[in-house]
Amino acid sequence: MRFEFDNAFVRELPGDPEDGPRLRQVEGALWSRVEPTPGAAPRVVAWSAEMAATLGLAEDDLRSERFAWIFGGNALLDGMQPWASNYGGHQFGVWAGQLGDGRAISLGEALDARGQRWELQLKGAGPTAYSRGADGRAVLRSSIREFLCSEAMHHLGIPTTRALGLLETGEAVVRDMFYDGHPREEPGAIVCRVAPSFIRFGNFELPYARNDVALLRQLADFTIRRDFPHLRGQGENLYADWFGEICERTAQLVAQWMRAGFVHGVMNTDNMSILGLTIDYGPYGWIDDYDPDWTPNTTDATRRRYRFGQQPNVAWWNLARLASALSPLFADTAPLQAGLDRYATAWHAADRANVAAKLGLELARDDDLALRDALHGWMREAGADMTLAWRALIDFDPDAPSPDLLAGACYDEHRCVSAGPLLRDWLARYAARLREDPLSAERRRNRMRLANPKYVLRNYLAQEAIDRAGQGDYTQVHELLEVMRRPCDEQPGCERFARKRPDWARHRAGCSMLSCSS
């Protein structure tokens, strides 16, 4: 096990003069040195074969005690320089001040054989200067969710931070899962997360809020140099191109979430990646019965700020916060406004591409957006499963339009029957539309197959894996990891991972209700 480290973040940016986890406000610095807290008996329970291969790790490495020892926070490899990064953020629409990596410790920036940079970060390895009174630990249930979902997202083609491995720490962590005065002990775990950069919108917001323009500029210059090396130009023009690209990437990210039915759950600005990656898997969820107002996050249940259908607007709002934070780098606001406009343009283009791909059209016309919306309208009326309904549509035959094809996606027979006329209408429209489209049936179906996955990490599937892991049985974690590697393939024999949510999971904690307690 050998890595080549190039720790640019701590080398090139100012750090906190104080080391260690004492809680403090850190001004004039972008990171604090802190060592992971050694774990009692770290044990690797799962890893991503793709991520391991990218990092040049062999199976023997992953199975070795040394790997568990290092990624469990007990020792450092040569070249590792652990740090926690300092950032702020808007949480639920309100400026929250300094937040920082309260339970994430970066070990170093590894360069892979192709020269690609991968920051290795332990989530749940103990307190830092930014733990704000919490323990810096993570529980097994949320670690399994983050581990599985980040890899599942990657295989769905959705930009995301990655996960190298999942470890049990061998220590208990106390959590009050629903903040209702019932704390209990849960197994502790660590996810080794991996990304080219973990820089967030909130990293820029904090120096801005403190009026530290020199630090803000230093961070912006660094981020462009390290994470956006393809951008050329100078001064304000360069900053403008950079902000525009962030806006565009964010638009593409959210469009992908909307395509696949993913709800992030906590789109605070500290959870927004500068590279447009999905980051910080907490109370996220997947849409079962189509409902744009749904959020899995019980902490947000009354206002539903981060509900499914709201995500494109929230992303824009978050970008506007980033624009404010970057405003000291500009003489006037026009280039920032132009960046935000680029978000809108990119969003509409990506949404239109989704429509074409999901409906299997060569190109989407204006009226196709309404056609897609009408199908969602039926799903909502009928209470139909989003993933199953879209997937079933692949087999649609415009010469023999049968509503039975989609009826299997419904959760409630009564609602399905009463929404029947809507569906028949819609299928007739779709059949007519397909006749005007040049794609052959085969090409249409291939196109749809890639845009409408069969397998997504349904909330209840992850919860089943968690329940079993709590008994020491990791079978379903491994099965899900495997099946989510090819989410758009049929994978005969794996159908049980493509079924609609069972009744027992409808209102169960972990399946439809998740809190930020993790």
| Residues at the site binding ligand AMP, with contacts judged by CB under 6 A | 99-103, 130-132, 134-137, 266, 270-271, 280, 282, 516
Least Å from the CB of residue 189 to ligand AMP: 12
In angstroms, the CA 277 to CA 295 distance is: 20
Instruction: Give how far Cα 230 sits from Cα of 6, 74, 224, 251, 341, Å.
Output: 19, 38, 9, 20, 22
Task: Give SS3 for 463.
Answer: helix
Which residues form the catalytic set? 270
With CA atoms as reference, report the closest residue to 283 among 179, 173, 392, 439: 179
Least Å from the CB of residue 270 to Mg ion: 5
Read off the tokens for 444. 């249409």
Under 8 Å between Cβ of 180 and 292 = no
Amino acid at 337: Q
Comparing CB distances to ligand AMP, the nearer of 165 and 282 is: 282
Q: Which does 137 bind (CB under 5 to 8 A by kind): ligand AMP, Mg ion, none?
A: ligand AMP
Least Å from the CB of residue 280 to Mg ion: 4
Which element (helix H / strand E) includes 255? Answer: helix 235-260
Q: Which does 135 bind (CB under 5 to 8 A by kind): Mg ion, ligand AMP, none?
A: ligand AMP
In angstroms, the CA 166 to CA 150 distance is: 12
| Ordered alpha helix ranges (H), 273-333 | 311-326
280 lies in the site for Mg ion, by CB under 5 A: yes
Least Å from the CB of residue 147 to ligand AMP: 15
Read off the tokens for 171. 């220590």
Under 8 Å between Cβ of 315 and 248 = no
Q: Which does 126 bind (CB under 5 to 8 A by kind): Mg ion, ligand AMP, none?
A: none
With CA atoms as reference, report the closest residue to 200 among 343, 30, 341, 331: 30
With CA atoms as reference, report the closest residue to 73 among 14, 128, 118: 128
Using a 10 angstrom Cβ sphere, with 0-12 exposed, 13-18 middle and 19 or more buried, the burial of residue 196 is middle
Task: Give SS3 for 458.
Answer: coil
Q: Which does 134 bind (CB under 5 to 8 A by kind): ligand AMP, Mg ion, none?
A: ligand AMP
Least Å from the CB of residue 278 to ligand AMP: 13
Under 8 Å between Cβ of 275 and 159 = yes
Comparing CB distances to Mg ion, the nearer of 149 and 388 is: 149
Task: Give SS3 for 343.
Answer: helix
DSSP conformation class of 514: B
205 lies in the site for Mg ion, by CB under 5 A: no
Q: How far apart are the first and last CA of the chain?
A: 31
Q: Which of 271, 278, 299, 463 binds Mg ion (CB under 5 A)?
A: 271
518 lies in the site for Mg ion, by CB under 5 A: no
Under 8 Å between Cβ of 109 and 118 = yes
Least Å from the CB of residue 130 to Mg ion: 11
Comparing CB distances to Mg ion, the nearer of 142 and 271 is: 271
Comparing CB distances to Mg ion, the nearer of 271 and 273 is: 271
DSSP conformation class of 306: T
Comparing CB distances to ligand AMP, the nearer of 103 and 249 is: 103
Comparing CB distances to ligand AMP, the nearer of 188 and 360 is: 188
Binding to Mg ion by CB under 5 A, coded x per residue (else -) over 213-252, reads ----------------------------------------
Q: Which does 19 bind (CB under 5 to 8 A by kind): Mg ion, ligand AMP, none?
A: none
Comparing CB distances to ligand AMP, the nearer of 38 and 398 is: 38
Read off the tokens for 269. 């600005």
Q: Which residues pair with 43 in a beta bridge?
A: 168
Least Å from the CB of residue 150 to ligand AMP: 14
Instruction: Give how far Cα 96 sits from Cα of 31, 88, 138, 342, Å.
Output: 18, 7, 22, 28
Size of the site for Mg ion (CB under 5 A): 2
Under 8 Å between Cβ of 371 and 429 = yes
Comparing CB distances to ligand AMP, the nearer of 198 and 455 is: 198
Comparing CB distances to ligand AMP, the nearer of 280 and 368 is: 280
Using a 10 angstrom Cβ sphere, with 0-12 exposed, 13-18 middle and 19 or more buried, the burial of residue 14 is middle
Least Å from the CB of residue 348 to ligand AMP: 29
In angstroms, the CA 123 to CA 483 distance is: 25
Position of minimal CB gap to ligand AMP: 102
Q: Which does 283 bind (CB under 5 to 8 A by kind): ligand AMP, Mg ion, none?
A: none
Least Å from the CB of residue 168 to Mg ion: 22
Q: Which residues bind Mg ion (CB under 5 A)?
A: 271, 280
